[in-house]
Structure 1
Amino acid sequence: MHIEIKKYVLQLQHPFGISRETHVTQDTMIICLTLNGKTGYGEATSNPYYKITVESMKAEIEAVQNNIETYDFDTPENFHTFLKSLGLQNFTLCAMDLAANDLYGKLQGKPLYEIWGTNTSYYPITNYTIGIDTIPKMVEKLQEKPWPVYKIKLGTSDDVAIVRELRQHTDSIFRIDANCAWTAEETLKNAPLLKDLGVEFLEQPLKADDWEGMEKVKKECVLPVIADESCIVESDVENCGGYFDGINIKLTKCGGLTPARRMIQKAKELGLKVMVGCMTESTVGISAIAQLLPQLDYVDMDGPLLLKEDIAQGVQILEDGKLIFPELPGSGIQLL
């Protein structure tokens, strides 16, 4: 195999704000993994919350690049186990695993969802994210992009007022993501008001390790609550079982499609709803997420919609949230 590492700085259409940060660009690493004339593509973004940079990921790969390039590639699952044995951390693992899965599908001549025994006759529609901003600006973002489902980022002193104002401008479904910004008391106070405003569920309202608070929320909250920062790796799924109604899996955080598929299976065994989210990836990462869609209840894969300019072709997201799946096998990715 041959590895090529590319860095891109993705320009966002608007400043993207969540409870702990705001940014206007997103650094991302693209892995190109080539074997027998076929190239698979994978992606992982930088992330200050987890202290991940493109440079740190690149250095990890380069330190073991010869080991990887001389590996006798057979399946993505075996390759993932091999990469873990080399000590790669999860963001780096994700980029490599996505590339390996795309490559595997291209070598087999089939899309991944078909290899996995699923089909795309049903899939959930992605939400479109409205980042934290002034209320007029958030209304402007909503009006600029009419969409059937919105994820609203909250974590301000005016959270309910924001949702109340946004509701004046659309009948679409709302999902709320507070990114750990609320206490249990705030969550229980806000939830009935938000439910009346057409909110479907709350995502990670409390700090990731506030299990005592989540126990109270799980018992008393009138809205379902989905884990995000509390559910990073495979072992977290079972921990979340008694505290949440569902989990949001991020491929970058868990290490790629290979562990994500196991997390989906475990969550279903526990009766949890399953969502997969994105980290403002390009179409490279989003096309990998799309392969999982038949297995999901919810999805947040709006990354390319938030960019000024994309860097790849793959799955296409239409104006009504429906998708056109790529004709290429694997995840169907081509770099532009």
Structure 2
Amino acid sequence: MMTILEITVERWPIAGTFTISRGSKTEAAVVLCTLRDGLYTGRGECVPYARYGESLDSVCAEIEKLRDALAAGATREDLHGLIGEGAARNAVDCALWDLEAKRSGKRVADIIGLPPLKTLTTAVTVSFGDAETMAASARAMADRPVIKVKVGGEDDEERIFAVAEAAPKSRIILDANEGWTDANIVRHMLAAAKAGIVLIEQPLPAGKDAILSTIPHPVPICADESAHGTDDLHNLLGRYDSINIKLDKTGGLTEALRMQKRARDLDFGIMVGCMVGTSLAMAPAVLVAQDADFVDLDGPLILKEDRSPGLVFAGSLVSPPEPQLWG
């Protein structure tokens, strides 16, 4: 049965502005991969990320290269020999999972062999800004169990203490997005420890993080930009305590599951995160997040509106996807 590929670029406005240390954005630009066989349809969504050399055009071109292979029946396992990790493979891999589920009449979770899926508690995000503005945002979220705070400035101590004071009952994660330096990391980490921060995500630039193996970790450190796929994990030993698994980095659910298993074997903690996208991008990640220490899948909450149907959020709780959405 021939599989027909469709590639669509979509733009989803953000509610306000989403800011990290590298810049701001007002929309989520995503690529939708749709696979049709005449009876069933599978979908996958990815978010191209300029930090990794991706653009809408480059990702669409990478997916387009797979058209003939998909028509000839290429499988998820075949993708690893046809295309590298990253957003393009993620969209196709997740669409193939969805198509397999629709054809078989089984949920993806059942195909994988997962226990019944549970509702998860996701972090919600405070954008980067001045300390006063960030504290106000944190105060508005102070009833949320987990808050992820974007930092990455030269002098973040004021931001750290301001948000911690504004949300004293929340577990707070700091995400520096590679914005700290060898000169300020110890100072920032000591401030984070004093403020009761529970995790620090990617404090230093990927490839320039050797100091992490020689300085104390008063707060556990999580690799994000340094951790793409399973092959990266061995090099992170001794530098990081946890890893952030994102399907747009791993190149799909298939590799994310491999990475998750290997990370547990190596005693890494696990966060499952996301780019800013719709519920279709989050849905496969919910399966990986069933065995995560931290869940950061609030992408749809940052948008003005989400897909319909989408994931069901109740405060910080996110329910497993329904088949009409994915899987």
**TM-score w.r.t. length of structure 2:** 0.91
Residue 176 (structure 1) aligns with: 174
Task: Spell out the pairing of 1:1-336 with structure 2 (5 A cutoff).
Answer: 1-35=3-37, 37-71=39-73, 79-87=75-83, 90-120=86-116, 124-145=120-141, 146-170=143-167, 171-217=169-215, 220-319=216-315, 321-328=316-323, 332-333=325-326
Q: Is the 8 A contact 1:61 1:88 kept in 2?
A: no
Deviation track 1:110-137 (CA, whole Å, cap 9, x = no partner) reads: 3222322223465652111111123333
Compute the displacement of 1:10 (Å): 1.6
Q: Is the 8 A contact 2:157 2:188 kept in 1?
A: yes
Q: Is the 8 A contact 2:17 2:26 kept in 1?
A: yes
1:69–1:140 distance in 2 versus 1, CA, 3 Å: farther
When the two chains are superposed, the root-mean-square deviation of aligned CA atoms in Å is 2.1
1:103–1:144 distance in 2 versus 1, CA, 3 Å: farther
**TM-score w.r.t. length of structure 1:** 0.89
Q: Is the 8 A contact 1:119 1:294 kept in 2?
A: no
Deviation track 1:153-209 (CA, whole Å, cap 9, x = no partner) reads: 101134121121222322211000111111245222222321222210111111111
**In 2, distance between residues paired with 1:2 and 1:140?**
49
Q: Is the 8 A contact 2:119 2:320 kept in 1?
A: no
**In 1, distance between residues paired with 2:6 and 2:246?**
24
Q: Is the 8 A contact 2:84 2:251 kept in 1?
A: no
Residue 76 (structure 1) aligns with: none
Stretch deviating more after TM superposition (134-143 or 148-157): 134-143
- Structure 2, unaligned runs of 5 or more: none
**In 1, distance between residues paired with 2:117 and 2:249?**
28
**In 1, distance between residues paired with 2:275 and 2:8?**
18
**In 1, distance between residues paired with 2:303 and 2:11?**
11
1:85–1:55 distance in 2 versus 1, CA, 3 Å: same
**In 1, distance between residues paired with 2:256 and 2:284?**
11
How many residue pairs match? The answer is: 323
Task: Describe the SS at the equivalent of 1:29.
Answer: strand
Task: Describe the SS at the equivalent of 1:291.
Answer: helix
1:249–1:121 distance in 2 versus 1, CA, 3 Å: closer
Q: Is the 8 A contact 1:7 1:28 kept in 2?
A: yes
1:223–1:55 distance in 2 versus 1, CA, 3 Å: same
